[in-house]
């Protein structure tokens, strides 16, 4: 039998919780949108999910690409390069998230 560390168990539990929460939100959101605005408006929900999926793919690619450089800097004990890469990707994530949040707010009010 495989023994899991506490951090591994917590990671698996939180991943499952996120999946279940996502499913519940999708079911609730679908009923809410179709009852409140109408079935025609559900197309906008699907469109927004597509935009979120594309943004998610972009963010995963950006972070995975940066992880390579972070790992190399960490293994070579180049603390200055590590901090530079980390702060750069952190700022890039903040900028992309802010742009997406602003665009989402503008589009949702229209």
One pLDDT digit (tens) per residue for the chain, 110 residues: 566 677 777 888 888 998 898 888 878 877 877 788 777 777 777 777 788 888 888 888 888 888 888 888 888 888 888 889 889 889 988 998 898 888 878 877 76
Tokens of 49: 């999910």
- R_g (Cα) of the chain, nearest Å: 19
Every domain of the chain and the residues it spans: 1-36, 45-110
Helix axes 79-109, 42-75, angle to 10 degrees: 170
As to burial, measured by CB atoms within 10 angstroms (0-12 exposed, 13-18 middle, 19+ buried), residue 93 is: middle
CA distances from 81 to 23, 77, 89, 93, 94 (A): 40, 9, 12, 18, 20
**Would you say the pTM of this structure is higher than 0.75?**
no
């Amino acid at each position: 039998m495989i023994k899991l560390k506490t951090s591994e168990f917590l990671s698996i539990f939180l991943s499952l919780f996120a999946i279940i929460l996502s499913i519940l939100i999708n079911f609730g959101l679908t009923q809410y949108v179709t009852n409140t605005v109408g079935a025609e408006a559900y197309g906008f929900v699907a469109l927004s999910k597509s935009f979120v999926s594309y943004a998610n793919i972009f963010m995963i690619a950006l972070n995975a690409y940066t992880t390579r450089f972070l790992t190399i800097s960490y293994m070579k004990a180049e603390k200055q390069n590590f901090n530079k890469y980390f702060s750069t990707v952190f700022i890039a994530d903040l900028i992309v998230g802010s742009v997406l949040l602003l665009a989402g707010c503008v589009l949702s009010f229209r």
